[in-house]
Amino acid sequence: MDSILIHTEYIKLEALLKYAGLAETGGEAKLLIQDGQVSVNGQVCTMRGKKLRGGDTVTLEGRTVLVRSEG
């Protein structure tokens, strides 16, 4: 499992996919989310603007990323 450190209160799902390298563009991230290919904390999530905080996990195509916060 990879982890991504954020320096803000939260990061939106679409931005996390780009930041973690799971999607190359915002358009690709949008399509992956809308197609139901992304899970947040084990549940399929189709909300691009879903706010992720420290401790949340995001899974796409068998790759899981843990969100860690600075605080």
In this predicted model, what pLDDT tens digit does every residue of 37-57 receive, in sequence order? Answer: 999 999 999 999 999 999 999
Predicted pLDDT at 70: 83
Q: Locate 62 and state its tokens.
A: 């068998």
Q: Quick check: 50 and 40 in contact, CB under 8 A?
A: yes
Radius of gyration of the chain (CA): 11
Q: Locate 23 and state its tokens.
A: 């999607």
Predicted pLDDT at 42: 97
In this predicted model, what pLDDT tens digit does every residue of 7-41 receive, in sequence order? Answer: 999 999 999 999 999 999 999 999 999 999 999 99
Predicted pLDDT at 71: 63
Pairing of strands 51-52, 2-6: unpaired
Pairing of strands 63-69, 2-6: parallel
